[in-house]
Chains A and B, each alone.
Chain A
Amino acid sequence: MSINQQDFTYVQTLVRQKAGIIIDDGKEYLIELRLKPVAIKNGYENVSGLVQKLKEHSRHNGTHEQVIEALTTNETSFFRDLHPFEVFKNVIVPELIEKNAATRTLKIWSAACSTGQEPYTIAMILRDSFPQLAHWNVSILATDLAGKVLDKARSGVFSQLEVNRGLPALMMVKYFDKQGDSWIIKEPLRKMIVFRQLNLLEHWSGMHTMDIIFIRNVLIYFDVEAKRSILKKVRELMKNDSFLLLGSTESLINVTTDFNNVRHDKTFCFKRKF
């Protein structure tokens, strides 16, 4: 049985309000496909039953969270698109090491970190190429909306399929242990990262200025107002020398003129305008 129009609209509005995620009209099949397992897990025969429950408990509860998680895309990989991470290593970090020499601090934020491949990639590069940072105050904050992906990220446990994707063999050997079928991030690397839940659409509490902000492959899910309001807050966390990195297929054209882009070959980095 396919989801009815009323239920579809309800779910569409719910994920838009809570997560800013746009599900286009006509994507009934997608909602049906993704929510069926959630319905069954919660003891309902079909998606209708689940939506009924959502409506009855409109205040925050576990079911809402499960529905939102089921409808967000968590696709990610180590060294995703590779080139931005080469720019990070060859341009961004060296430049910041020079500029921040007096304070010896480097603050990095991976917003929408999904299952952790992005912040772990950042940590591996820092460890591997910048031994001098051992004497610095380096922080990597990794946040996401979804508790489930954060739990996995925190655990640092990855499958063969996941380490096969984009992770250089040398990095695998240096920074992972293998236990059974799992590949586990080594403790010192795991300790470099603080994982925390944060909804990009809500008020950001406890955030400080950042040197590098990764917001990759998440803004694409939001409408233009949501993008603008997030980028406005991002801008406030940036200093003169801070960098912003988006996904390789994302741009700020028609969204905001608050940033200058600096191009390095095929990667665009953004700096705030003053």
Chain B
Amino acid sequence: MVRCQLVTVTPRRRERYGNHQLQLPDLLPEKERYMKAMVIDDSRAMRTILMQMLSEIGFDVSGAGDGKEALKLLEDCKECPDVALVDWYMPEMSGLDFVKKVREQSDFDKLQLMMVTSESEMARVVEALEAGANEFVMKPFTKDVVKEKLEILGIHAE
């Protein structure tokens, strides 16, 4: 029996499986498992841009508007994302606090954290790395910048 699930039609899937509503076997072989990324940014416009880029790179993407919401999503979700892209300044819980909170919990040891922020001072980069962030992207950025930084973390979506 092949069980099916509905999935988002990313451009890459469209390329691979054609341009119709997709039904894929839910037990995808190891290589067919899509990398998952979560975008945490309070600006809806920025979130949309990043989510679009990541989906083009080949990720399954989800989004959250601040650290608190993101933490809740993480605690609820059955399969943890591989990487979270985190803005610095957000209401409720800042990106830096989010990073610290995530690093307090051993459940998320494998989750890679990448700050994506308009902060560009050396001291901020150091602060983020010390808090447990794995990478740091300065705004403005391009899709290539994001892709290269993810590759540094050993995350290849293709």
Give chain A's interface residues, CB within 8 Å of chain B.
Answer: 77, 79, 82, 160, 164-166, 168-170, 172-173, 176-178
Chain A residues near B49 (CB, 8 Å)? Answer: none
- CB-CB < 8 A to A164: which residues of B? 137-138, 141, 145
Task: Decide yes or no whether B109 CB sits under 8 A from chain A.
Answer: no
CB pair A82 B148 closer than 8 Å: yes
Given contacts A79-B152, A82-B148, A169-B133, 20 further A-B contacts (CB under 8 A): A79-B148, A164-B137, A164-B141, A165-B144, A165-B145, A166-B148, A166-B149, A166-B152, A168-B135, A168-B152, A169-B125, A169-B128, A169-B135, A169-B136, A172-B136, A173-B122, A173-B125, A173-B126, A173-B129, A176-B122
Q: CB distance B148 to A165 under 8 Å?
A: yes
CB-CB under 8 A for A177 and B152, given A160-B138, A164-B145, A165-B145: no
Q: A82-B148, A82-B151 are in contact. Are A178 and B122 (CB under 8 A)?
A: yes
A-side contacts of B148, CB under 8 Å: 77, 79, 82, 165-166
Task: Tell me if B126 and A178 are in contact (CB < 8 A).
Answer: no
Chain A residues with Cβ below 8 Å from B136 are 169, 172
Which residues in B have their C-beta under 8 angstroms from that of A178?
A: 121-122
**Neighbouring A residues of B151 by C-beta, 8 Å:** 82
Chain B at the A interface: mostly helix, strand, loop or mixed?
helix
7 A-B pairs with CB atoms under 8 Å apart are A82-B152, A164-B145, A166-B149, A169-B125, A169-B129, A169-B135, A169-B136
Q: Is the CB of A160 within 8 A of B120?
A: yes
Asked if B141 and A177 sit within 8 Å, CB to CB, the answer is no
A177 to chain B, nearest CB (A): 7
Interfacial residues of chain B within 114-154, with CB under 8 A of chain A in the complex: 120-122, 125-126, 128-129, 133-138, 141, 144-145, 148-149, 151-152
Least CB distance from B95 to A in Å reads 14
Instruction: Please classify how large the interface on chain B is, using the bins under 10, 10 to 19, 20 to 34, 35 or more.
Output: 20 to 34
Q: How far is the CA of A173 from the CA of B120 in the complex (A)?
A: 12
C-alpha gap A169/B134 in the complex (Å) = 8
Residue of A nearest to B123 (CB): A178
Bound state CA distance, A77 and B141, in angstroms?
14
- Tell me which residues across on chain A come within 8 A of B135, comparing CB atoms: 168-169
Q: Within 8 Å CB of B134, what residues of A?
A: 169
Q: Which of chain A's residues have a CB closer than 8 A to the CB of B137?
A: 164
What is the CA–CA distance of A173 and B134 in the complex, to the nearest angstrom?
Answer: 13
> Which residue of A has the minimal Cβ distance to B130?
A173
Contacts of B141 in A (CB 8 A): 164
How many Å from the CB of B77 to the closest CB on chain A? 26
Task: Specify which chain B residues have a CB less than 8 angstroms from the CB of A77 in the assembled complex.
Answer: 148
Nearest-neighbor residue (CB-CB) of B147 within chain A: A166
Q: In the complex, what distance in Å separates the CA atom of A176 from the CA atom of B125?
A: 12
With both chains docked as a complex, state the minimum distance between the C-beta of A266 and any C-beta of chain B, in angstroms. Answer: 11
The reply to whether A170 and B129 contact each other, CB–CB distance below 8 Å, is yes
* Chain A residues in 8 Å Cβ range of B129: 169-170, 173
A77 to B144, CA, bound (A): 11
Least distance between B154 CB and chain A CB atoms (Å): 10
Chain B nearest CB: distance from A167 CB in Å? 9
Chain B residues positioned under 8 Å from A176 (CB to CB): 122
Q: Tell whether A177 pairs with B122 under 8 Å between CB atoms, given A165-B144, A170-B129.
A: yes
